[in-house]
Structure 1
Amino acid sequence: MFKKFLLLCVCILVVASAAIFYVKSELDSYLSQTVRIQEPTLVTIKSGTSVGSLLNRFEQQQWIDSSISKKWMPRLIRRLHPEVTQLKAGTFELTTGLSLKQALLSLVNGQQAQLSITFVEGSTFKEWRTQFDKAPHLMHSTVDMSESEIAQRLGIDKDKLEGLFLANTYHYTVGMSDLDIMRRAHTQLQKVLDKYWGKRKPDLPIKTPYEALILGSIIEKETAVPGERPLVSSVFVNRLNRGMRLQTDPTVIYGMGDKYDGNIRKRDLQTHTPYNTYTIYGLPPTPIAMIGEQAIAAAVSPDDSKYLYFVASGDGGHVFTKNLRDHNRAVQQYLKKLRARK
């Protein structure tokens, strides 16, 4: 009798062991399958999402094989692999080639997906708004707002926002808004502006930080050569100190707005706008572009020079001169190079 009982126990143990082995094999096979995504993909997990509902979503999107899935699989995962079930809300990036277990671990332990948007020096607020509209996974909360309404929401006491954000790369996560990035860009601008305004050269013809932004925006539009910015700044500072008009083409273009077709004609130089520095003295009323840190530094710390003019060299930089005669000669040299290239 005892032998029969012992044999029965052994049989039960064998069957149980086989069942455990089978279940574990099924679970291992399920978790080791590769998540079938062809490129890095964002996955958004809402608060309260269970591992079971997440796995159902993966199956519906055909990222994992549903044929080996069992109703009891999520419960088994929670028991044997609790480390992959502690999901947190957010948007995360899954890379290619991950097993299901690796994917779940990356969702549990990973950082939220970081997206980025880059605004180049010299771009305008109008161009920024276009970039915002095209930015993926960004809430477009300012689409129906005017510029002055956006300024009010940001606590900026200006009607125009040109030049009031620092040109830079900004990272964001899914769910952030364009207004969030604008606020951060304005805060960064203020930090940079305060830093350099406190170290400005004495006796500058610019009297406020906002005027420094206006001058910096003109410098930004005039040259893309970093080493030239302080020299370009010195030309404008020298002209302002002498009461000369700045006579800089980017201000004319900005004042023309949508009328600008890529060419500046003589009549454009003579047509008065608040921004046309061929017809007005001093600085225009607002910046004409968004600027970077180097342009701000150049505006408040120009080189010491006696230059009053500059013109493109035709080789990527500029030729700086101290009088109109030399300037005209440099202009003719530039035009000669242009003709030779045609």
Structure 2
Amino acid sequence: MVFNRNKIIKISGIVFVVFVAVIYIKFFTSNTNFENDEIYVQIPTGSNYQDVEKILSPLVKNISNFEFIAKCRSYPENVKSGRFLLKKGMSAFQLVSAMRRNVPVKLAFNNQERLENLCERLSSQIEPDRTKLLTTFRDSTFLQKNGFTKDNVFAMFLPNTYEVYWNITAEKFRNKMLEEYNRFWTKARITKAAALDLSPVQVITVASIVHKESVKKSERPIIAGVYLNRLIQGMPLQADPTVIYALKLRDNDFDQVIKRVLYNDLFINSPYNTYKNIGLPPGPIAMPDVDAIDAVLNAEKHDYIYFCASVEKFGYHVFASTYEQHQVNAMKYANWINKQGTKR
């Protein structure tokens, strides 16, 4: 009887050790199947546990161990959508924990030329697709409530890096951008815009042209001053970047590179052609950076009305107060660019 009891105890001990070993393996040993130090997985909105398993199967060494731990921790009933960070060597226990922590995306955008391009850029970084974003940004109720139009709502998006969740809805993202826009337009900036007799959207529209004209920080306030002088005098802006935008819009091709505006281009029938139309185009022709916006708000006061690219200081411009002087400068540039063989 003593022998049998000792035997039972011994067997029970072995069984217990085996049980503990099995549990340890399931819970705490490495259960990843990828070589990178870390990877991100995205779980779409509305996913269930079966969807999660399909996504994780190629990345998990033993999906049964993951499932065992997931059920022990009630994960199948509490699946979360979002973006999740997995690290090489994680155990099943750690993997389940990781799938509960939605990791934000550091979303960045700049140098976009129009809303469609921006939506394409955004859809590569967050869950809503291009169509959903575009529809949401151009929602008529939203536009009317916040003083935008479908042509100028692009002005609401300020280039920067923003932290958002991957599964943010298009509506919540739009509202966040509106908050950032309103935060940017401080009382000081609004006062400066009013002094120029411009609204914030109009300032950004001018800034988009300045942004396209020059990347030189020192020149931007001078160029802004030229366009403001033209607006005050009721002259057409005659900005080549607006003609280029009109050409791209006509061709529905914003990937084309246009280095030179030709004489015939100046007659294109478009509200964005500032050679034919007096005043500002319907909205921004690009996404200006903050430097370009502040260059307009702090434009240099001068009597320049004209400017063209310098042939002596590459990347800069020469300015003129009279048409006669501008003609001299423009002829120098035309001769130079012809020698380069640039036809378009």
| TM-score normalised to structure 1 length | 0.75
Q: Report the residue type matching 2:128 in the other structure.
A: L
d(CA) in 2 for partners of 1:250, 1:135: 29
What SS does the aligned partner of 1:213 have? Answer: helix
Q: Report the residue type matching 1:18 in the other structure.
A: I
Does structure 1 residue 210 correspond to structure 2 residue 201?
A: yes
Match of 2:10 among 8, 14, 20: 14
Given that 1:193 and 1:209 are in contact with CA atoms closer than 8 Å, whether structure 2 keeps it comes out as yes
Partner of 1:316: 315
Does structure 1 residue 299 correspond to structure 2 residue 296?
A: yes
Partner of 2:117: 127
d(CA) in 2 for partners of 1:323, 1:264: 22
Partner of 2:33: 36
What SS does the aligned partner of 2:43 have? Answer: strand
Given that 1:121 and 1:220 are in contact with CA atoms closer than 8 Å, whether structure 2 keeps it comes out as no
Partner of 1:274: 271
Quote the offset at 1:117 in angstroms: 4.5
Quote the offset at 1:176 in angstroms: 2.5
Partner of 1:200: 192
Quote the offset at 1:222 in angstroms: 1.9
Name structure 2 gaps, 5 residues minimum. none
Does structure 1 residue 236 correspond to structure 2 residue 233?
A: no
Matches within 5 A, 1:171-182: 171-182=163-174
| Alpha-carbon distance change, 329 to 34 in structure 1, aligned in 2, over 3 angstroms | farther
Does structure 1 residue 334 correspond to structure 2 residue 333?
A: yes
d(CA) in 1 for partners of 2:134, 2:184: 30
The share of aligned pairs that are identical, in percent, is: 19
TM-align CA RMSD: 4.0
d(CA) in 1 for partners of 2:148, 2:85: 43
d(CA) in 2 for partners of 1:258, 1:23: 72
| Alpha-carbon distance change, 84 to 28 in structure 1, aligned in 2, over 3 angstroms | farther
Given that 2:83 and 2:165 are in contact with CA atoms closer than 8 Å, whether structure 1 keeps it comes out as no
Quote the offset at 1:12 in angstroms: 3.1
Q: Report the residue type matching 1:181 in the other structure.
A: F
Count of matched residue positions in the alignment of Structure 1 and Structure 2:
326
Partner of 1:102: 94
Quote the offset at 1:196 in angstroms: 4.7
Partner of 2:149: 159
What SS does the aligned partner of 1:198 have? Answer: helix
Quote the offset at 1:235 in angstroms: 1.4
What SS does the aligned partner of 1:299 have? Answer: helix
Partner of 1:115: 105
Quote the offset at 1:302 in angstroms: 0.7
Q: Report the residue type matching 1:150 in the other structure.
A: D
Rg larger in structure: 1
| Alpha-carbon distance change, 87 to 99 in structure 1, aligned in 2, over 3 angstroms | farther
Given that 1:251 and 1:277 are in contact with CA atoms closer than 8 Å, whether structure 2 keeps it comes out as yes
Summarize deviations over 1:143-166 as a string: whole Å, max 9, x none.
Answer: 78497x524245444432434322
Summarize deviations over 1:204-231 as a string: whole Å, max 9, x none.
Answer: 2x34333323322222222233333222
| Alpha-carbon distance change, 255 to 190 in structure 1, aligned in 2, over 3 angstroms | farther
Summarize deviations over 1:48-102 as a string: whole Å, max 9, x none.
Answer: 978xx79966885472236x8599x549x94xxx799996623242334132233
d(CA) in 2 for partners of 1:329, 1:91: 60
d(CA) in 2 for partners of 1:221, 1:280: 19
| Alpha-carbon distance change, 199 to 275 in structure 1, aligned in 2, over 3 angstroms | same
| Alpha-carbon distance change, 246 to 161 in structure 1, aligned in 2, over 3 angstroms | closer
Match of 2:182 among 185, 190, 193: 190
Summarize deviations over 1:272-314 as a string: whole Å, max 9, x none.
Answer: 5433222333333433333332232222221233332222236
| TM-score normalised to structure 2 length | 0.75
d(CA) in 2 for partners of 1:87, 1:146: 29
d(CA) in 2 for partners of 1:284, 1:140: 25
